[in-house]
Amino acid sequence: RKEVEQDPGPFNVPEGATVAFNCTYSNSASQSFFWYRQDCRKEPKLLMSVYSSGNEDGRFTAQLNRASQYISLLIRDSKLSDSATYLCVVNTNAGKSTFGDGTTLTVKP
Amino acid sequence: DTAVSQTPKYLVTQMGNDKSIKCEQNLGHDTMYWYKQDSKKFLKIMFSYNNKELIINETVPNRFSPKSPDKAHLNLHINSLELGDSAVYFCASSAHLSGRAYEQYFGPGTRLTVT
């Protein structure tokens, strides 16, 4: 089993749709969690950190469920510019970051 | 004022050659990383250095040798290049306090093609 698993998609949604990505992790000692975004032929960039209480940044909402060991990302009112690959990242206390294989989102007009 | 920079951006070379990729960060971070992203776009950590000390060394052929001359630099030297080494190599950096790694900032990547 992979340490971090994501549904690879692709997710193809129309503009304005709401889309949700899930990510599960196997190491119960994981301490910090992030969502990154990677555009084609570009480097990954931090989208948002994920906090235990859940957090929101504009149209983006991230949630963490430690008991079930999964994190989620919800995107509301999708824009064309949201098309990208979304990477789930889990850090352990040993300082190791494990990236999921990514979920590809395409938002269509 | 690029935060994490890598050189070169593109590298085309023949099998058997030795090449180096350089990385520098000006964020004041104490931890730096090398990742490999293959043709399937999977991002895998190779090495991590904290304050010039190697802290993570994943299963990577010993043809790959990282070197950190100081906290702001982490270079990657690759000996005897093979076709399978073709990939995009990303450098990244982060703060690292009390065993906790914070969010990482990535360089633009080096696209290595071995022919």
B12-21 pLDDT, tens digit per residue, is 999 999 999 9
Higher per-residue pLDDT: B41 or B87: B87
Residues of B in contact with A34 (CB under 8 A): 103
Question: On the CB side of B102, how many CA atoms lie within 13 Å of its CA?
Answer: 11
C-alpha–C-alpha distance, residues B23 and B92, integer Å: 8
Residues of A in contact with B87 (CB under 8 A): none
B86-112 exposure pattern, b = at least 16 Cβ within 10 A, e = fewer: bbbbbbbbbebeeeebbbbbbbbbbbb
- The CA–CA distances, whole Å, from B19 to A2, A97, B23, B111, B115 equal 32, 26, 14, 13, 13
- Determine whether the interchain pair B108/A46 forms a contact, defined as Cβ–Cβ distance below 8 Å: no
Q: Do B103 and A49 touch (CB under 8 A)?
A: yes
Which pLDDT score is estimated for A17? 97
Low-confidence ranges of chain A (pLDDT < 50): none
Above 70 in pLDDT, residue B67? yes
* Secondary structure element (H or E) that encloses residue A27, with its range: none
Average predicted confidence (pLDDT) for chain B: 91
- Rounded mean pLDDT of B50-60? 82
Task: Please enumerate in sequence order all residues whose Cβ is within 8 A of that of B29, keeping only pairs 6 or more positions apart, or say none.
Answer: B71, B93, B94, B95, B96, B105
Chains A, B: CB contacts within 8 A come to 57
* pLDDT class of B98 with cuts at 50, 70, 90: low
What is the percent of chain A where pLDDT is above 90?
Answer: 77
Interface contact A102-B107, CB threshold 8 A: no
If one compares B34 and B99, the residue with the highest pLDDT of the two is B34
Contact A34 B103 (CB under 8 A): yes
